[in-house]
Amino acid sequence: MSSRLQAILWVRPRLRILNQLLLPHRREYVEINDCRAGHHAIASMQTRGAPAIAIVAALSLAAELCGLDFSSAAAAQAHIRQQLAYLSTSRPTAVNLFDA
């Protein structure tokens, strides 16, 4: 790992985020494999700031989708919509965050 501090590390299909709750005393990365882990990271404030929250939400969905097979495009679309709705509950105070 580089000595440069990076808040978000994405190497498809792997997402790792810097746990901002531990800064500045420790540098620890959290593995995000699915929307549940992404939701937790956002809700628990392991990731902060509107741009980072949006990126973690999108990439947690992408990481989850990399491991799934769908029977149809409609099934994939339904799953994506359901997971986006779930992710949008992760930070209730970020009113317009998920409009993007």
Report CA-CA distances (Å) from 40 to 27, 35, 57, 72: 19, 8, 10, 29
Which pLDDT belongs to residue 91? 86
Residue 50 neighbours by CB under 8 Å, 6+ apart: 94, 97
Please tell me which residue, 51 or 65, carries the higher pLDDT value.
65
Mean pLDDT within 49-55: 90
CA distance 39 to 21: 15
Residue 11 neighbours by CB under 8 Å, 6+ apart: none
User: Tens digit of pLDDT for each residue in 79-97?
Assistant: 999 999 999 999 877 666 6
User: Tens digit of pLDDT for each residue in 12-41?
Assistant: 899 999 999 999 999 999 999 999 999 999
Look at 36-40, 56-60, 96-100 and tell me which has the smallest mean pLDDT. 96-100
Crossing angle of helices 35-43/50-66, nearest 10°? 160
Question: By C-alpha distance, which of 49, 19, 22 is closest to 37?
Answer: 19
